[in-house]
């Protein structure tokens, strides 16, 4: 039986990945940060099937102990301060968690089990003010937020451990990927939650920032399969994962509101509070390499993704409203 250690297992990607690996017969270890108010919402259904290990990404001894306990074949480093907007008011925390902690995790693996295969969650935010359209593995980075800057560090330290210590370390450059489990502060989930509340008469406006930003949005449940595929190859390499389509926030609004028979223009209010100090205007990925080498392809398209998220939010908001 193979074993995997996942950091960030209670998040969107971690929960989908844990389900996927459990189905494949893996023993799944999840690193959890001690807190007085734990949140297991995303992993409710599989909570008892995960072997929980307490630890913190900023605390190397706890990571060394986690790798010792799990003795993993594969390590998926998904934990981070992952919200771009929060990285301006908390740039140091973002740097400590999203950048430097990748080295902690790599060190723990190098010290305890250097043969374990390592996946680093890199991000299309590294492309930022894009230097090429579409963006692929060889496109230079130009991050536009403390988050993007931190992810560039995480990316290069992963490459560096591969080249310095001959570790099987891969970096997956994933473009935005969403689902009903996406955090409520991200624009996609904020919109689908807003649509549900407006449709059910619980809210009458939705306050947003820049509607012209273009993103390459895929389904998280498809993207975690690419993470696993990267670690099953003969040689460790980095891959872009994307849908190769781009849509504006405005298009997301149109599809989400019209799905429930509403016009977004009647409800959306522009609020400067949600406009960022520096913006990533356009992301669109070229994932030819992943298609050819990993045999990966997306299953859920843009419209299906938006509809799935609206459906789930309507169900959840309805259930909450009953109590
Ligand atoms: P990101 O691509 O990782 O930053 O994902 P987000 O979902 O947080 O943001 C996607 C895009 O939506 C960015 O260009 C934001 O500026 C834009 N956006 C517009 N209004 C909002 C808002 O109210 N909240 C968020 N999170 N993003 C917004």
pLDDT single digits (tens) 199-223: 999 999 999 999 999 999 999 999 9
pLDDT (tens digit, 9 = 90+) per residue, 292-312? 999 999 999 999 999 999 999
Task: Band the pLDDT of 40: cuts 50, 70, 90.
Answer: very high
Cis peptide before 180 (omega within 30 of 0): no
Task: Summarize pLDDT for 99-145 with one digit per residue, the tens.
Answer: 999 999 999 999 999 999 999 999 999 999 999 999 999 999 999 99
CA of 288 to the centre of ligand 1 (A): 26
Assess whether 125 carries a catalytic annotation.
Answer: yes
pLDDT for res 155: 99
* H helix and E strand count, the chain: 10, 13
- State which ligand 1 atom lies nearest to the alpha carbon of 283: 2
Q: What distance in angstroms lies between residue 162's CA and the mean position of ligand 1's atoms?
A: 33
Give the distance (Å) from ligand 1 centre to CA of residue 186: 6
Kindly state the average pLDDT of the residues 246-257: 98
Query: Of ligand 1's atoms, which has the minimum distance to the CA of residue 271?
Result: 23
- Distance between Cα 187 and ligand 1 center (Å): 5
Question: Over pLDDT 70: what percentage of the chain?
Answer: 100
Q: What is the mean pLDDT of residues 251-264?
A: 98
The answer to whether the CB of 14 falls within 8 A of the CB of 119 is no
Answer yes or no: is pLDDT of 80 > 90: yes
What does the pLDDT read at residue 322?
83
Instruction: Report whether 191 contacts 260 (CB < 8 A).
Output: no
For the chain, give the percent of residues with pLDDT over 90.
98
CA-proximal residue: ligand 1, atom 20 (nearest): 209
Annotation marks residue 279 as catalytic? no
Q: Which residues contact 154 (CB under 8 A, 6 or more apart)?
A: 80, 98, 99, 102, 120, 121, 122, 171
Distance CA 180, CA 12 (A): 9
Active-site residue flag, 147 = yes
Confidence at residue 70, expressed as pLDDT on a 0 to 100 scale: 98
User: What is the pLDDT at residue 321?
Assistant: 87
Three-state DSSP at 143 gives coil
pTM for the whole thing?
A: 0.98
Q: Which of 122, 123, 145, 179 is catalytic?
A: 123
**Residue 323: which pLDDT band, with cuts at 50, 70 and 90?**
confident
What pLDDT, on a 0 to 100 scale, did the predictor assign at position 129? 98
* Atom nearest to 249 CA in ligand 1: 12
**Ligand 1, CB cutoff 6 Å, lining residues:** 84-85, 125, 176, 185-188, 190, 208-210, 213, 215, 249, 274, 276, 279-280
Cβ atoms of 151 and 172 within 8 Å: the answer is no
Protein residue closest via CA to atom 8 of ligand 1: 186
């Amino acid at each position: 039986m193979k074993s995997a250690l996942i950091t960030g297992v209670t998040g969107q990607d971690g929960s989908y990945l844990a389900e996927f690996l459990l189905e494949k017969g893996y023993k799944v270890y999840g690193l959890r940060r001690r807190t007085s108010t734990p949140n297991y919402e995303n992993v409710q259904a599989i909570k008892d099937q995960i072997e929980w290990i307490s630890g913190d990404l900023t605390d190397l001894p706890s990571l060394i102990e986690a790798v010792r306990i799990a003795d993993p074949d594969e390590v998926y480093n998904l934990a981070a301060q992952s919200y771009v907007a929060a990285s301006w008011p908390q740039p140091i925390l973002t740097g400590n968690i999203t950048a430097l902690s990748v080295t902690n995790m790599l060190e723990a693996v190098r010290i305890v089990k250097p043969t374990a295969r390592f996946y680093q969650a890199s991000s299309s935010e590294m492309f930022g003010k894009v230097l090429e359209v579409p963006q692929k593995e060889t496109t230079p980075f130009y991050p536009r937020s403390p988050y993007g800057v931190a992810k560039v560090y995480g990316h290069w330290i992963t490459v560096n451990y591969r080249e310095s210590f001959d570790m099987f370390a891969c970096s997956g450059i994933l473009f935005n990927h969403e689902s009903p489990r996406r955090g409520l502060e991200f624009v996609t989930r904020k919109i689908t939650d807003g649509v549900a509340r407006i449709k059910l008469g619980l809210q009458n406006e939705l306050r947003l920032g820049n509607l012209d930003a273009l993103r390459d949005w895929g389904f998280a449940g498809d993207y975690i399969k690419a993470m696993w595929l990267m670690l099953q190859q003969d040689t460790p390499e980095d891959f872009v994962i994307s849908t190769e389509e781009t849509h504006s926030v405005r298009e997301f609004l149109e599809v989400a509101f019209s799905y429930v028979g509403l016009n977004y223009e009647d409800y959306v209010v522009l609020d400067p509070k949600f406009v960022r100090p520096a913006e990533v205007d356009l992301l669109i990925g070229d994932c030819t390499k992943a298609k050819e080498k990993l045999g990966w392809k997306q299953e859920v398209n843009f419209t299906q993704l938006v509809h799935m998220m609206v459906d789930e939010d309507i169900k959840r908001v309805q259930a909450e409203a009953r109590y």
